[in-house]
Amino acid sequence: MIGKLLKRSTKAGEGGSIVVEGARKATGGKGRTRIVMTMAVFFGIFATISGRLVYLGFQTPDMSGGPQSRVTASRPDIVDRNGEVLATDIKTASLFAEPRRIVDADEAIEKLSTVLPEIDYEQTYHKLKSGAGFVWLQRQLTPKQQSDIMQLGIPGFGFRTEKRRFYPSGETSSYVVGLTNIDNQGISGMEKYVDEQGLSDLQASGLAVAKDLKPVRLSIDLRVQHVVRDEIAAGLERYRAMGAGAVVLNVKTGEVVAMASVPDFDPNNPYNAQEKDRLNRMSAGLYEMGSTFKSFTSAMALDSGKATMASRFDASHPIRVGHQAIHDFHGKNRVLSLPEVFLYSSNIGSAREAEMVGIEGHREFLHRLGILDKMQTELPEVARPTEPKIWKQVNSFTIAFGHGVSTTPLQAAVGCAALMNGGFLMNPTFLVRTQAEAMAMAKKVVSEKTVDGMRYLYTLNAEKGSARNARVPGYRVGGKTGTAEKVINGRYSKELNFNTFVAAFPMDDPQYLVFTIADAPHPEKPGMTDVAAANAGVIAGNIIKRSAAMLGVKPDFSHENGATLVSYQ
């Protein structure tokens, strides 16, 4: 009995073992399936992510979430002819935000406004709520502003070190040196010229390394530049003028030693640089030059060979052309010699000189001196002169005394320099240039005899005529005034003038030329006149008095202006 039970138990146990083993086999198969399925899911996810990354790698990045975060590129220093710094790079901090990390945009702006009260609340709010990875909030902070913002401890705010342009001389040379934008790129003046010479390409390629950039040396003498700017600013106020300006040229090299125009602006804070009265009148303004143009008319008559110092011109009565009549401002009402035409600034006599040369000869001479062509120089802000499409007799007459064509004061100065330096026309330059380099590209435009005659006329006018206010003892100054009715809305004004004055010194061998302008000046005091001799001429004399020694011109008191006149008496 017991034996049978044992056999049954043994069989039952064997059967149970078989069942358990079968269960284990079934369970193991399902587990492996689940593992394989899980692995397949994970592989699928990784494959999807990898494919997406590869796809995105070939796409153009979307920069709409915020401005570029690159650091501004370096620029070379700009220095004057003596090495004085006119423009240089300085490091500054700029504030940015990472909107994705901003917890409370309203609180962040509220805190920020305690340091930057001028910040635009609505614009800044939209930036902080944009969800972008990077946005600029304020560029070029002061060290104090950076420190104060850091103390606010706003999460998601940060700073990047950038370069900005600093101009140690401020407004003194603003129109010549020019400006850069927020990204340190030149947008005007010599700053723009430097970019156009290849700097912008270096910056784009990342090769604009500060230590490799040599300073750009200008022809400007900062000492003389300060004198010029100071005198025209004083003249602007003294004569209650709309504008004023001046340029000092080296007549032997064509170098612009100083040039300024007011009103101007501070390039370190150029908030008003785009206002309509902020114009570089010397190179970008077009004006009728008035009687200063008689320098070219007399030179033309002499250079043509049809006139000499002994030539005489009938100025006893007005010249009538159709319904127009040409009068003299203070007429002598008699026949005048060529020197008298210049000395008394006779419109009638100048028109007779032009008539002697002829219309085509007149036009050719002005183009020969570059007066009516666009000036070639480094400064980008240069206006193109205007002239009649067809010259008629009346045009030639009026142009002879400075009406009917418009040019820039700088071009008029360059043309006058050619009448003083031996007869050579040189494109003006704002870079240092030697006399040999200047002569290599100079163009002979008038004869030596014409130059001698013009030097005589300038000296005569300083001794006996309208240039007397510009005389400086010891420096033998000569010159010519120009008082033109100002053109307003296409019509000549009877109340406002555009006044010019050209002066050269020393007249026995001119080295420098000063050309000044006074735009719509008023009499300094009641009862005084507003003609050029009373304002533009005074400004020129003050500039020469203060800067001649800086320019290396030694005073000579052994002979004054009269000694130069002997050979023409």
Give me the active site residues, please.
291
Using CB atoms within 10 Å of the CB of residue 17, give its burial: 0 to 12 exposed, 13 to 18 middle, 19+ buried.
exposed
Q: Which long-range contacts (CB under 8 A, 24 or more apart) does 119-127 make?
A: 127/66, 127/97, 127/99
HEC assignment per residue over 337-392: EHHHHHHCCCHHHHHHHHHHHCHHHHHHHHHHCCCCCCCCCCCCCCCCCECCCCCC
Q: Which residues of 232-241 are buried (b: 16+ CB within 10 A; e: fewer)?
A: bbebbebbeb
Both tokens of residue 369? Answer: 């001196």
Helix boundaries (H) for 153-206: 174-177, 189-194, 200-205
Q: Give the 3-state secondary structure of residue 522.
A: coil
Encoded tokens for 229: 């700017």
CA-CA distance, 103 to 113, in Å (whole number)?
A: 17
CA distances from 478 to 270, 272, 451, 509, 562 (A): 38, 38, 13, 11, 11
Distance CA 362, CA 404 (A): 13
Dist. CA 266–CA 99, nearest whole Å: 35
Cis peptide before 270 (omega within 30 of 0): no
Compute how many other C-beta atoms are within 10 angstroms of the C-beta atom of residue 360.
10
Is residue 114 within 8 Å of residue 254, measured between CB atoms?
Answer: no
